[in-house]
Amino acid sequence: MDRTLILVKPDAFKRGLTGEIIARFERKGLRLVALEQRTLDEAIARQHYAEHEGKPFFGELVEFITSGPLVALVLEGQDAVKAARQVIGATNPLEAATGSIRGDFAIEVGQNMVHGSDSPESAEREAKLFFPNL
């Protein structure tokens, strides 16, 4: 069984789409093992997105992800990382398939609704950051 760390980002939370998003992962067959609503401070946001430090969009990314409440969750299942990213869709919502979360609900790359870990190693690191006792 694999695990993945998902964030329902502040744009999605604000639009009242948290339930819709979680339901899509559950329907895919992924099981919820942890869930928490919180607002990130800058330090956690920078750690979470550490791989993007130095990129031109890093400042905006940190500002956006700390801009309001979000919901963090850990999902478990076979190939959870890949399965969740399929449900989420491509990074740029204009390139994301219809039927994916980003394809259905977003337009801008900077406000693309959901984060999903990009590898089992990232998932472990990110899950520890949000749920140290898991």
Q: Which residues bind ligand RTP (CB under 6 A)?
A: 52, 57, 61, 91, 109-110, 112, 115-116, 118
Catalytic residues: 115
Structure tokens at 111: 């406000």
- Known binding-site residues for ATP equal 9, 57, 85, 91, 102, 112
Contact partner at residue 129 from ligand RTP, Mg ion, none, CB < 5 to 8 Å by partner kind: none
Instruction: Report the run of H or E that residue 48 belongs to, with start and end.
Output: helix 42-48
Max Cα-Cα span within the chain: 37
Considering beta carbons, is residue 77 or 85 the nearer one to ligand RTP? 85
Q: Please provide the size of the chain in residues.
A: 134
Contact 72, 131 (CB under 8 A): yes
> Binders of Mg ion among 109-128, rule CB under 5 A?
118
Residues of this chain that interact with Mg ion (CB under 5 A) are 118
